[in-house]
Amino acid sequence: MMDIVYTIWLRNMKRYLRSRSRMAGSLGMPLFFLLVLGFGLNSIVRIPGSKQDYMGFIVPGIIAMTVMFTSVFSGIQVIWDKQFGFLKETLVAPVSRLEIMFGQTLGGATIAFIQGFIILIISSFIGSGHHTTLQGLLIAAVFMMLIGLSFTAFGIAIASKMEDMHGFQLIMNFVIFPIFGLSGALFPINSLPAWLQSLTLGDPLTYGVEGIRYGLAGVSPINPFMGFMVMAGFTLAMVALGTVLFRQINL
């Protein structure tokens, strides 16, 4: 099984590394948020009850956004493979669809993790204000990988039921922007009205963002262990959903 998973993972990695435009394009929006919001609002926005500046506050949110967006849109690869016949050739091979789905999920999550790590490195050079320990970096890395796995599986689940790339992009934009907007990536969740805070705490990405924030800054309104349990449960649920819908693909 691992040979098949590794082969599909390696294919995804090679496609990513050979596409410099894809690498650069995926970093455009996160860098825009980081530079424009970070530098633009850093001098006028203060985080209630914290000495942390706004630039340092939004870096974990921008990293989570990078990982999530890259993960979800890796589902386009499934639609692309459908249209060009590669998926049909793979599905008729003597391998299980579970192996194919796991390989696609691991490939998309790894690429998303790399993209998020690039933003983390860039933020350290432009002054994020974080003095991260090795332990904190490992904690952040765990949450980045959970975000990557869960939202890659989610993207594959949706792509398994679609034939058109443009339709997939429209649906994903309709879904992922509210998820990102409610995650507390750009604002502290403990200063929100009670009704909005409830919506935010119902957003699985919130726990990923706060987990990364705890790893990088050492502070978070959400207990990191609880955040890990929520993200781990969400990841398992999305992988299960993706597996079920991927097995139902008809070519």
Contact 206, 200 (CB under 8 A): yes
For the segment 11-16, the average pLDDT, to the nearest whole number, is 84
Q: What is the pLDDT of residue 188?
A: 84
Q: What is the pLDDT of residue 211?
A: 95
Q: Which amino acid is at 69?
A: F
Q: Which amino acid is at 8?
A: I
Q: What is the pLDDT of residue 66?
A: 92
The whole domain housing 87 covers 2-247
Q: What is the pLDDT of residue 189?
A: 84
**Following DSSP, what letter does each residue of 169-184 receive, concatenated?**
HHHHHHHHHHHHHTTT
Cβ neighbour number for residue 181 with a 10 Å cutoff: 14
With pLDDT > 70 as the criterion, what percentage of the chain qualifies? Answer: 86
Residue 232 CB partners (closer than 8 Å, separation 6+):
146
C-alpha span between 238 and 153 (Å, rounded): 6
Q: What is the pLDDT of residue 248?
A: 80
Q: What is the pLDDT of residue 33?
A: 79
With pLDDT > 90 as the criterion, what percentage of the chain qualifies? Answer: 29
Q: Which residues pair with 46 in a beta bridge?
A: 53
Provide the total of helices (H) and of strands (E) in the chain, helices listed first. Answer: 12, 0
> Does residue 218 sit in helix, strand or coil?
coil
Q: Is the pLDDT of residue 73 over 70?
A: yes
Looking at 88-97, 104-113, 174-183, which range is the least confident one? 88-97
Which candidate, 47, 217, 34, places its Cα nearest to that of 125?
Answer: 34
Where residue 241 falls among pLDDT bands split at 50, 70, 90?
Answer: very high
Q: Is the pLDDT of residue 14 over 90?
A: no
First to last CA, the chain: 23
Domain count along the chain: 1
Q: What is the pLDDT of residue 122?
A: 86
Q: What is the pLDDT of residue 44?
A: 65
Q: What is the pLDDT of residue 224?
A: 92
Contact 66, 208 (CB under 8 A): no
Q: What is the pLDDT of residue 142?
A: 96
Q: For 113-164, what is each residue's pLDDT tens digit?
A: 999 999 998 888 776 556 678 898 999 999 999 999 999 999 998 888 877 7
Q: For 172-218, what is each residue's pLDDT tens digit?
A: 778 888 999 888 888 888 877 888 888 899 999 999 999 999 998 88
